[in-house]
C-alpha cells in the first residue's frame, strides 16, 4: 500500500467517526435536560455554561485548526519542501503571546465565575414577590423523603411544587451522603447527615421533571429517582388537600421503618411528627463540636433554634433511633 490510499483510509475513518458521533449525540436518544431549563436557576446556569464554553472555545477551536494545519504542513515527505529550521527554539514575542492569550481569557472567565458564584449561591433566597414554599428533603437508603412543614404533609420519591413560586429546599441525610439533583430546575447540592443544607429553586413551567440522587450511596443508589410535578397554584393546593384527606399519617415509628435500608415506591403521608426534620439533623450533631459548615452561612434549619442548643432534646428523642454499628 502506498502513502495516498493510507491517508484516504485515515480520512474516511475520521469523517465516519465524527459523523457517527454527531448523529448519535443529536438524533438518537434522550433529552438534553441541562439545556432545557424550566426555572430561573437552571436558566442562569445554562447561560453560564454556554458563555464559558464559548469563551474557552475561542482558544480551543483555532488551536485545533492550527494543530491539524501544522501536522499536515510539516510532515516529512520527499516532496514536502517547506522551510526546516531544526535549531529554532525560542521567540520571546511568540511566547509572550501565548502566555498572554490564556491569561486574558482565564481572567475573563474568572470574573464571570466569581460573579455567578455569588449570584447562584444555592443557600441564597431567590428574589420573588411570592412567599417561598419550604420542602425538607431527607435522603435515605435508598429513597427520598420530602416533608412540607407548612402544609404538614410528606411524600416519598415524588415531589410536587407550585408553578412560579420559589422553593426553599432544606436538605439532610439519614444515611451516607447523597446529592439532590433536578437538572431542569438547577444544579445539585449534597445531602449530609448532621447538616441542613439549603437549595433555592423555582419552576416557571408546569410539567413532570426528572430528579435523582447524584452521589453514590451504596447498593441501590441507582434507583433513587423521583419525579418533580410542577402544578398551577390551584392544582397544587388541591393535591395537598387530597393528601391530607386520603393518606395515612407519618409517625415516628413509621419514619424508623422507612429509614431502614431498602427501596420504596412513591408514597404520601397526611401528617408529619413535630420537628422530625430537626431531629434527623440533630441526631448526628455532637455538642461542642464546631459546625463543619460554618462557611455555609445560615445552614441551620427553619425551626429557628441553633443546632447544638437542641442536643439534649435530640438525645432524648432520638436515642432509640441510633443506628450506630458500634452499639
84 binds another protein (CB under 8 A): yes
Q: Which three cell numbers stand for residue 280?
A: 434527623
CA atoms lying within 13 Å on the CB side of residue 191? 32
Which contiguous run of DSSP H or E holds residue 22? helix 3-27
CA distance 131 to 284: 31
Of these, 43, 193, 264, 308, which contacts another protein (CB under 8 A)? Answer: 193
291 binds another protein (CB under 8 A): no
Nearer to another protein, 228 or 243 (CB): 228
Nearer to another protein, 151 or 174 (CB): 174
Nearer to another protein, 116 or 249 (CB): 116
Q: Which residue has the cell 388541591?
A: 238
315 binds another protein (CB under 8 A): no
256 binds another protein (CB under 8 A): no
CB of 164 to another protein, least distance (A): 22
40 binds another protein (CB under 8 A): no
Which residues 195-214 are close enough to bind another protein by CB under 8 A?
Answer: 195, 197-198, 210, 212-214
- DSSP calls for 280-319: HHHHTPPTT---TTGGGSS-S-TT-S-TGGGHHHHHHHHG
CA 123 from centre of chain: 13
> CA angle, corner 114, sides to 54 and 105, nearest 5?
40
Q: Radius of gyration over alpha carbons of the chain, in Å?
A: 27
CA distance 286 to 28: 51
Give me the helix-helix angle, 92-119 and 40-73, nearest 10°: 170
Of these, 2, 28, 260, 320, which contacts another protein (CB under 8 A)? Answer: 28
5 binds another protein (CB under 8 A): no
Nearer to another protein, 49 or 241 (CB): 49
Of these, 11, 19, 31, 128, which contacts another protein (CB under 8 A)? Answer: 31
321 binds another protein (CB under 8 A): no
Taking residue 137's Cβ as centre, other Cβ atoms within 10 Å add up to: 24
Query: How big is the site for another protein, counted in residues (CB under 8 A)?
Result: 113
Span of 78-86, 150-158, 229-237, 267-275 interacting with another protein by CB under 8 A: 78-86
Per-residue x/- mask for another protein, residues 89 to 118, rule CB under 8 A?
Answer: xxx--xx--xx-xxx--x--xx-xxx-xxx
**8 Å CB contact between 250 and 273:** yes
11 binds another protein (CB under 8 A): no
Cis peptide bond prior to 114, omega within 30° of 0: no
Span of 159-167, 272-280, 290-298, 302-310 interacting with another protein by CB under 8 A: 290-298
CB of 277 to another protein, least distance (A): 17
44 binds another protein (CB under 8 A): yes
Span of 67-75, 162-170, 237-245, 304-312 interacting with another protein by CB under 8 A: 67-75
CA distance 25 to 105: 28
Nearer to another protein, 239 or 284 (CB): 284
CA atoms lying within 13 Å on the CB side of residue 224? 28
Residue (of 41, 252, 221) closest to 140 by Cα position? 221
**8 Å CB contact between 198 and 297:** no
Of these, 56, 251, 270, 308, which contacts another protein (CB under 8 A)? Answer: 56
Span of 60-68, 144-152, 264-272, 273-281 interacting with another protein by CB under 8 A: 60-68
Amino acid at each position: 500500500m502506498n502513502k495516498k490510499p493510507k491517508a484516504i483510509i485515515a480520512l474516511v475513518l475520521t469523517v465516519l467517526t465524527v459523523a457517527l458521533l454527531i448523529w448519535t449525540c443529536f438524533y438518537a436518544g434522550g433529552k438534553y435536560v441541562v439545556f432545557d431549563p424550566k426555572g430561573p436557576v437552571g436558566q442562569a446556569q445554562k447561560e453560564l455554561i454556554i458563555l464559558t464554553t464559548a469563551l474557552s472555545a475561542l482558544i480551543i477551536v483555532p488551536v485545533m485548526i492550527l494543530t491539524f494545519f501544522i501536522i499536515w504542513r510539516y510532515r516529512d515527505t520527499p516532496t514536502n519542501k517547506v522551510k526546516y529550521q531544526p535549531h529554532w527554539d525560542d521567540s520571546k514575542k511568540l511566547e509572550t503571546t501565548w502566555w498572554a492569550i490564556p491569561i486574558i481569557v482565564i481572567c475573563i472567565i474568572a470574573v464571570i465565575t466569581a460573579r455567578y458564584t455569588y449570584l447562584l449561591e444555592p443557600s441564597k433566597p431567590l428574589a420573588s414577590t411570592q412567599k417561598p414554599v419550604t420542602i425538607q428533603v431527607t435522603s435515605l437508603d435508598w429513597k427520598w423523603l420530602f416533608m412540607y412543614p407548612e402544609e404538614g404533609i410528606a411524600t416519598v420519591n415524588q415531589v410536587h411544587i407550585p408553578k412560579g413560586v420559589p422553593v426553599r429546599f432544606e436538605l439532610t441525610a439519614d444515611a451516607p451522603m447523597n446529592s439532590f439533583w433536578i437538572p431542569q430546575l438547577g444544579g445539585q447540592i449534597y445531602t449530609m447527615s448532621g447538616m441542613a443544607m439549603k437549595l433555592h429553586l423555582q419552576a416557571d413551567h408546569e410539567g413532570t421533571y426528572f430528579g435523582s440522587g447524584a452521589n453514590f450511596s451504596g447498593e441501590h443508589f441507582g434507583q433513587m429517582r423521583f419525579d418533580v410535578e410542577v402544578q398551577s397554584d390551584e392544582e397544587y393546593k388541591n393535591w395537598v388537600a387530597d393528601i391530607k384527606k386520603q393518606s395515612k399519617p407519618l409517625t415516628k415509628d413509621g419514619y424508623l421503618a422507612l429509614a431502614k435500608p431498602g427501596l420504596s415506591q412513591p408514597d404520601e403521608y397526611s401528617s408529619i411528627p413535630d420537628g422530625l426534620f430537626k431531629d434527623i439533623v440533630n441526631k448526628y450533631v455532637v455538642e461542642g463540636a464546631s459546625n463543619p459548615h460554618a462557611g455555609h452561612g445560615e445552614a441551620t434549619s427553619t425551626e429557628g433554634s441553633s443546632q447544638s442548643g437542641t442536643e439534649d432534646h435530640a438525645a432524648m428523642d432520638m436515642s432509640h433511633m441510633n443506628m450506630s454499628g458500634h452499639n
